[in-house]
């Protein structure tokens, strides 16, 4: 049976207008612009309006994709939404987006791999394409992190922003080598102790007591997360490059998850990359979890940092712990 390869054929993004700068956070918690920048590389982040949910961000990202590539939503077979900030426990955010964009012929479901959501979604979509069952798979990564951020917690409130990204996956022609070449995803459940949100699950059902204890917010033990993220993003990126017979100099651009500038620098050093080979935009958007990589793809394409035929490496690390990397020969 002939293998069906997958390629990215369209991309889009949405960034809310409201900006929350470090100087604004200085007025909210005991922190400073210098402290935030020196430890994270973040200068500002964008925050969705109170009336916007993650589905709204995702719909706007698709509309950007549609404006760029004139995609007919009726042609979409499947919608995968990767998010940790769903509109509600059920129905799925993907169902809300499916209705919102008019993709009446598409099945839809959500996945939760936290900050690794885009890479997990890409792997999942690729498998559906390879099966031959679906020909147009829309992967949407909308995150309204402000909805689960405790703005009295100085350790986490400086980190996160809101945004959404979307990509369309389709089968590649037999003679087209601009494809998703290789991917790897991994999990270590030890991460449940270090990065989590308690409320809403069956282990911690919502009660008046839990609401009063502010359990609906993200909690993180930063040092442990940092250690795991550095090691696993670095190792997975190096493995995905070397097992495909490439080296750092062959990579046009590394588009890493934007969690911390120091993590990004360590991954780049492991691959022996120059500054111009690494996309960094954490200073402008903060950590938008699953949305960071598609945001980076759109920015790289708009700024002509990537073109058809370039080798692209993406890598991410998130709660679970989850992590992974993908090697893409860019085809847009």
Asked, for residue 93, whether it belongs to a domain, the answer is yes
Shared-domain flag, residues 215 and 151: no
Residue 13 shares a structural domain with residue 159 = yes
- Domain end among 171, 198, 225: 171
**Do 99 and 233 belong together in one domain?**
no
Q: How far apart are CA 141 and CA 86, in angstroms?
A: 10
Q: Which of 185, 168, 212, 216 is CA-nearest to residue 320?
A: 185
Is residue 184 situated within a structural domain? yes
Residue 310 lies in a domain: yes
Q: Are 141 and 232 found together in one domain?
A: no
Predicted local confidence at residue 214, as pLDDT? 59
Given the residues 22, 141, 178, 257, the one annotated as active site: 257
Residue 202 confidence class, pLDDT cut points 50, 70, 90: confident
Separation CA 262–CA 279 (nearest Å): 13
CB within 8 Å of 230: residues ≥ 6 apart: 262, 263, 266, 267
In a 10 Å sphere around its CB, with 0-12 CB exposed, 13-18 middle and 19+ buried, how is residue 107 labelled?
middle
Band (pLDDT 50/70/90 cuts) for residue 215 is low
pLDDT digits (tens, 9 = 90+) for 155-175: 899 999 999 999 999 999 999
Torsion of CA 94, 64, 300, 322, to 10 degrees: -10
Task: Tell me the torsion sign for CA atoms 69, 73, 75, 78.
Answer: positive
Q: Note the pLDDT of residue 205.
A: 64
Instruction: Indicate if 24 and 85 belong to the same structural domain.
Output: yes
Look at residue 5 in the predicted model and tell me its pLDDT: 96
- One domain, residues 125 and 156: yes
Residue 230 lies in a domain: yes
Mean pLDDT over each residue of the chain, to the nearest integer: 94
Q: What is the mean pLDDT of residues 115-126?
A: 98
Q: Tell me: do 204 and 142 sit in the same domain.
A: no
Which residues lie across from 141 on neighbouring strands?
165
In this structure, is residue 161 part of a structural domain?
A: yes
Q: What percent of the chain has pLDDT over 70?
A: 96
Select from 125, 148, 171 the last residue of a domain: 171
Q: Does the structure show a pLDDT above 60 at 208?
A: no
CATH code for the domain in which residue 164 is found: 3.40.47.10
| pLDDT over 60 (residue 210) | no
Cα separation, 218 vs 231, whole angstroms: 23
Does 187 score more than 70 pLDDT? Answer: yes
Model pLDDT, residue 144: 98
Asked if residue 299 belongs to a domain, the reply is yes
Judged against a pLDDT cut of 60, whether residue 253 lies above it is answered with: yes
152 and 193 inside one domain: no
- Please give the pLDDT value at position 209: 55
Helices (H), the chain: 22-26, 33-40, 54-69, 93-101, 117-131, 208-212, 222-242, 261-270, 282-285, 292-302
| Catalytic, out of 5, 60, 260, 287 | 287
Of 171, 194, 216, the one marking the end of a domain is 171
Mean pLDDT of 196-224: 72
**Are both 156 and 196 inside the same structural domain?**
no
Let me know if 115 is a catalytic residue.
Answer: yes
pTM: 0.95
Q: What is the domain extent for residue 284?
A: 180-329
Position 221 confidence tier, pLDDT thresholds 50, 70, 90: confident
- 184 in the same domain as 167: no
The reply to whether 158 and 195 lie within a common domain is no
Total number of domains in the chain: 2
State the catalytic residue, choosing from 22, 46, 60, 115: 115
């Amino acid at each position: 049976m002939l293998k069906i390869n997958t390629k990215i054929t369209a991309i889009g993004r949405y960034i809310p207008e409201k900006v929350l700068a470090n100087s604004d956070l200085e007025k909210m918690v005991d922190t400073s612009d210098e402290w935030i920048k020196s430890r994270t590389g973040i200068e500002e982040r964008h925050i969705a309006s109170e009336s916007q949910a993650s589905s709204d961000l995702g719909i706007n990202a698709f509309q950007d994709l549609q404006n760029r590539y004139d995609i007919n939503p009726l042609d979409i077979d499947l919608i995968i939404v990767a998010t940790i900030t769903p509109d509600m426990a059920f129905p799925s955010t993907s169902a809300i987006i499916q209705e919102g964009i008019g993709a009446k012929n598409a099945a839809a479901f959500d996945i939760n791999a936290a900050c690794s959501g885009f890479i997990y979604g890409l792997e999942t979509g690729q498998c559906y394409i390879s099966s031959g069952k679906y020909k147009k798979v829309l992967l949407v990564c909308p995150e309204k992190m402000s909805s689960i951020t405790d703005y009295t917690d100085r350790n986490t409130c400086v980190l996160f922003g809101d945004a959404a990204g979307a990509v369309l996956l389709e089968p590649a022609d037999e003679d087209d080598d601009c494809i998703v070449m290789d991917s790897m995803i991994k999990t270590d459940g030890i991460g449940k102790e270090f990065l989590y949100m308690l409320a809403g699950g069956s282990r911690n059902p919502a009660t008046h007591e839990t609401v009063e204890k502010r359990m609906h917010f993200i909690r993180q033990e930063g040092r442990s997360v940092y250690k795991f993220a550095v090691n696993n993003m670095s190792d997975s990126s190096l493995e995905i490059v070397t097992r495909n017979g490439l080296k750092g100099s062959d990579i046009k651009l590394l588009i890493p998850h934007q969690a911390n500038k120091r993590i990004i620098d360590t991954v780049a050093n492991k691959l022996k990359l120059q500054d111009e080979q690494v996309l960094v935009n954490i200073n402008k958007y903060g950590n938008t979890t699953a949305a960071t990589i598609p945001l980076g793809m759109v920015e790289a394409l708009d700024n002509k940092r990537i073109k058809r035929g370039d080798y692209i490496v993406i890598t991410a690390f998130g709660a679970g712990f989850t992590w992974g990397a993908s090697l893409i020969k860019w085809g847009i």
